[in-house]
Amino acid sequence: MKIYILGICGTFMSGVAQLAIQKGFQVSGCDENIYPPISDVLKDLGVKIDKGYSEKYYSENTDLFIIGNVVSRGNPLMEKILNEDKSFSSGPEFLFNYVLKDRHVVSIAGTHGKTTTSAMITKILLDFGIDAGYLIAGKVKDFSNSAELGNDKLFVIESDEYDTAFFDKRSKFIHYKPSTLLINNLEFDHADIFNNLDDIQKQFHHLIRSLPQNVKVLFPFGDDNIQTLLKNGFYSIKEPFNFEFSEKGWSMIINENKTSDFKVCFNGELVNEISLKLIGEHNLRNAFAAFLTALSLGVTPNSIKNSLLNFKGVARRMDLLGEKNTVSVYDDFAHHPTAIKLSLEALKKADSSRKIICLLEMRSNTMLSGFHDEKIPEAVSNADEVYLFSKNETQAKKIISQDPKINFCESKEEFLKILRKKNYQETNIICFSNGSFGGIQSEIFKNL
């Protein structure tokens, strides 16, 4: 079977491509932005990648076109496919029909932590000897690929609430039909497709409504937005847990003096103690959720503990790139105030004596919409200096007016000039962006 993927270099669609190749399909595709590491991974697998979306890439010999959600009406190749009445599918629909059908799907959903938690659960299963399949929308340091078919019935998938395609505006996760569902948290995001939190909760409830009664749904009991969601109707098996100590059910205790370990408790009694190489309360919460999900799948507590201890993490999630002249540089994909705040708290707690310089690229659609403007100063409160990078100077200056330590930067060159003058010592520089940030991370090392 010959398939052609429009938008093949996206993290999700490249994973679909990898799985299709492992199924024995002949895969090629196109994208506007072709860049490493994804482009290198696909080329190593023999995938031909065309630049742009020209209708000249159309071929009658293609059995199925798979359409990424970056594609909209007016796209030349898409218009050709429609005019020729050729078969096409969304990525999630293809994934279910050819990979997920008849498997035990472990779906990891929520606003924050999906990639890290999915990676943790996958590593736990693999270390336990379960040859699980997986698709994770990120570069996991423990794995050579972001997607594998696996031979076991279990399949772990990072489940995005973003829309499926221009012809299917339901969230991607609707298609996966999970047997185990983890909802880690729920906040407003993706302002380009959702008007408010109610819109997001509606998509989550479409998912909840479609689940059979024997599906286990794990979720934090103290998340009010999730509680509101469940009150709209719930028909499956509830597996609640608490991110704070509780004498009822599963809960965790985070050691106030440490940043990388926590206790797992059940009905107030200690079950296990977990240590990570990663820092930060958000990673501890991810690990706790991963622990409980893996436990529900039959993995033993000590095996989970050992696997989490050796988990290396995910690229661009509190990712320490290196150190030069006592200055450490971190790269972080966070682009929501909650995630930014937790990352900065983790850095501060790890070593309060070190100065923190925060570079924040206002790049996501939700950031640019202005929805988070009033939350940003609080989110970056643990940083000593903050530099906002934005195409909207008016918006940036409005945020800056709320806190004198926040500065506006028009370009990476402007910050690099500041960097050369400051001569920072014993400092952590952390770069927040859901894009490449113009490669500023590597440029910082050259200018220290």
Domain match, 295 and 161 both: yes
pLDDT tens digits for range 159-201:
999 999 999 999 999 999 999 999 999 988 777 788 888 999 9
Does residue 302 sit in the same domain as residue 330?
no
120, 308 contact by CB (below 8 A): yes
Which of 308, 310, 311, 330 shows the shortest CA–CA distance to 319? 330
Residues 296 and 203 in one domain: yes
Whether residues 368 and 237 share a domain: the answer is no
**pLDDT score for 335:** 79
65/171 same-domain check: no
In the numeric block, which tokens belong to residue 393? 């100077």
Q: What is the pLDDT of residue 329?
A: 94
d(CA 314, CA 298): 25
Domain boundary among 290, 309, 328: 309
Sheet holding 180-183, edge to edge: 147-148, 133-135, 154-158, 104-109, 180-183, 216-220, 237-242, 250-254, 261-266, 269-275
158 with 235, same domain?
A: yes
- Domain match, 197 and 272 both: yes
- Cis? peptide before 37, omega within 30° of 0: yes
Q: Which tokens sit at 138?
A: 């990120």
Say whether both 277 and 217 belong to one domain.
yes
pLDDT beneath 70, residues of the chain: 257-258
Predicted pLDDT at 134 = 98
Residues 301 and 419 in one domain: no
Q: Which residues contact 438 (CB under 8 A, 6 or more apart)?
A: 412
CATH code where residue 251 lies: 3.40.1190.10
- In this prediction, residue 258 carries a pLDDT of 66
Give the Å distances, CA to CA, from 205 to 90, 183, 195, 211, 392. Answer: 21, 12, 16, 10, 35
Look at residue 97 and tell me if it is in a domain.
no
pLDDT of residue 139: 85
Same domain assignment for residues 244 and 126: yes
Cβ neighbour number for residue 436 with a 10 Å cutoff: 12
pLDDT at 373: 81
CA 29 vs CA 25, 41, 46, 160: distances in Å: 13, 14, 11, 22
Burial of residue 144 (CB within 10 Å: 0-12, 13-18, 19+) is exposed
Q: How many domains does the chain have?
A: 3
State how far the Cα of 152 lies from the Cα of 297, in Å rounded to an integer. 12
Q: Say whether both 46 and 66 belong to one domain.
A: yes
Question: Which residue range forms the structural domain that includes residue 174?
Answer: 102-309
